[in-house]
Amino acid sequence: MRTKLPSAVALGVAAGLLLAACQAAAPTPAPTAAVDLVLVADTVQGPANLTPEEKASGAVCVQKNRFAKNEEIVWRVRVIDPATGEAMDDQALSSVVVHLPDQDLDLHYGPHPRDNPVDFFWTTAFDVPETYPTGLLAYTIDATAADGRTGTYNQFGVALAQLQVTDEVRPVITPAPSPTT
């Protein structure tokens, strides 16, 4: 009795080769280039209404998302060009803006820290008024490149991770007058 195993193997090999040839011939779509700008942002404690001791102990520029009234919120933003992976400066961007519910804040590009710079990024600040509503502070950040490309930063959807204004009211500290000569 003859076995049909060699013809079955040959048929399986032929079907496999045909399938591989058809898959290789299928066109692969070209990857699409990213056009939206990438924004990386955080909020930190600004120096307004901090005591000299708090400033000296390193309370300035510490990341946080809960701010008392009369505290200064500082946004730090880096805008990345997805085509190059490089940060974009004030020559490459025409605007970077924080949108609060009641106002817009323009960001400015520059060295940080000011006295001994180690980095460059976009910043703006907002002193939370004593009369400001308590609770979540919704905001977005939009960047527009000189060539028209745009990008938007949105907070995470988790309430505990979003920017919040607390019931606490920090006392207003009047800066000492600068010495005159």
Choice between 142 and 1, residue whose per-residue pLDDT is larger: 142
Q: Is residue 104 part of a domain?
A: yes
Q: Is residue 50 part of a domain?
A: yes
Q: Is residue 70 part of a domain?
A: yes
Lowest-pLDDT range, 33-42, 102-111, 152-161?
A: 33-42
Does 43 have pLDDT greater than 60?
yes
Q: Is residue 10 part of a domain?
A: no
Residue 122's H or E segment, with its range, is strand 119-127
* Tokens, residue 63: 């990341």
Q: Is residue 174 part of a domain?
A: no
Q: Is residue 73 part of a domain?
A: yes
Mean predicted confidence (pLDDT) in 53-58? 94
What is the count of structural domains for the chain? 1
Phi/psi at 92 (5° precision)? -90, -25
pLDDT of 106-141, one tens digit each?
A: 999 999 988 889 999 999 999 999 999 999 999 999
Question: Is-contact 131 116, C-beta < 8 A?
Answer: no
* Tokens, residue 128: 């939370």
Residue 47 structural domain? 38-168
CA 84, distance to chain mean position in Å, is 17
Residue 137 maps to which CATH number?
A: 2.60.40.1930
* Tokens, residue 32: 């699409």
pTM of the model: 0.78
Q: Is residue 4 part of a domain?
A: no
